[in-house]
Amino acid sequence: MVLQSIPWVTCSVKRTLTTASVLLAVVLVAFSALLVGLGLGSHATTRNLIRDALPPGLAGAFLGQEQDFPLEQEVLDKLDDTFYRPVDEASLEDDAVRGLLQGLGDDYTNYLSPEEYTNFQERAGGSYSGVGMTVEMKGAFITVVSTFKGSPAAGGGVKPGDIILAVNGEDTKGLSLDEVVTRIKGKEGTQVTLKVYHVPPGSVGPEESPRDGAHLPEGGTLQELTLTRKTITIPVVESEIVKAGSHNVAHIRLITFSEKSGERLRRAVETALAVDKADAIVFDLRNNGGGLLEEAVDVASIFIPGGVIVTTEGLHSPKQVYEARGNAVPPVPVYVLVNGFSASASEIVAGALKDTKRATIVGEKTFGKGLVQTILSLSNGGALKVTTAVYRTPSGADINKKGIEPDVLAPDDPATTAVDETLDKALALIAAGK
């Protein structure tokens, strides 16, 4: 017989078939066990029985669980077995992530839930439903940076520097910036109640300080405001022509660094120069809390013909140099207005224009946020907003928590609402040819 004449082949074939059958069986059993384990593992009692019966590594694989945070899982298991009401593990997971990030001591590195991430994307896109103000974390407090003209916040008397202490009765202490923003936003026509601390005149809010050791500025007043939310279209550019002696001056205010802000500002500047025959520009960045880094580079490139705009670098972010894009407008005199709420992207632009001596900076010291955040999407639809780098001005200055000092100190007095001392100072400089 053929098979008898070559027995080694026969034995090899039988062993191969047997091995394949065993492997297939093992795979099927393992897959079935995994499915059963995932089902059983959703209950604390069965999870504990399985974990006690199997070696740690095999138990983790069987239950479909990672072993990177065994203490966290142990706590969840004990809560499942002992807590007096059902445990919402998804909510606890969010809180655990927030607590983990809080340990970094960086107010700008935050977890965004799926809802918060959606809200963040809406704000970057230029419209949302809310009360029409921008806020920033300053020390321990959620501080108002600006309010939009005609918005519920502006109509309710909220001003830059005011501090949001509570939203709908919930204390903002311990909440991230994005958590507070999500609570303030909501469906158009609905109401939100804010507990607002109005800082005393002339104050720019709380000083930078550790989150647990900050105190409200003395002399302010407390107010509870109920505002009706509406659809807010974030304004980007406001422009007017004013006189400074014999000069036509374009006073152009940039309100936010959202998508295409650079394009809109360029159109406003080019129109002012070509159509309105402006021979000087007052570029107003007061109360501009910043926005997108790329837009900041685009904005600075309107005035700076070439060279470095900003440099970023972090532990895991290689040094990156952003240079002017080219096609700058004609070199007319430029005066940049800043105050204590000119932050982030505003400081990138002001720092670049100052260091390259392309503009004169007028006003007050800026906010001092020299950090770059990167958005990292997560599998649950949320995201991490992570501080990935520090940015430096063209001269190499790190302005984080320091701000940018103006070339000409000229604060606007909030008590003289009919007079803009900062703008008037810039116009006086233009009239005098300085």
By annotation, the residues acting in catalysis are 344, 355, 369
Helices (H), 41-131: 44-53, 56-63, 70-82, 89-102, 114-125
Q: At what angle do helices 7-40 and 44-53 cross, to 10 degrees?
A: 140
Cβ neighbours for 283, distance < 8 A, ≥ 6 positions apart: 252, 254, 303, 334, 335, 336, 337, 359
Pairing type for strands 308-314 and 110-112 reads unpaired
Residue 218 to residue 206: CA distance in whole angstroms = 10
Query: Could you tell me if 273 and 327 are in contact, meaning their C-beta atoms sit under 8 angstroms apart?
Result: no
Q: Taking Cα atoms as reference points, which of 361, 355, 354, 357 lies closest to residue 338?
A: 361
Residue 72 to residue 252: CA distance in whole angstroms = 53
Q: Taking Cα atoms as reference points, which of 208, 185, 183, 177 lies closest to residue 110?
A: 177
**373: number of CA atoms within 13 Å, CB side?**
20
Residue 387 to residue 151: CA distance in whole angstroms = 31
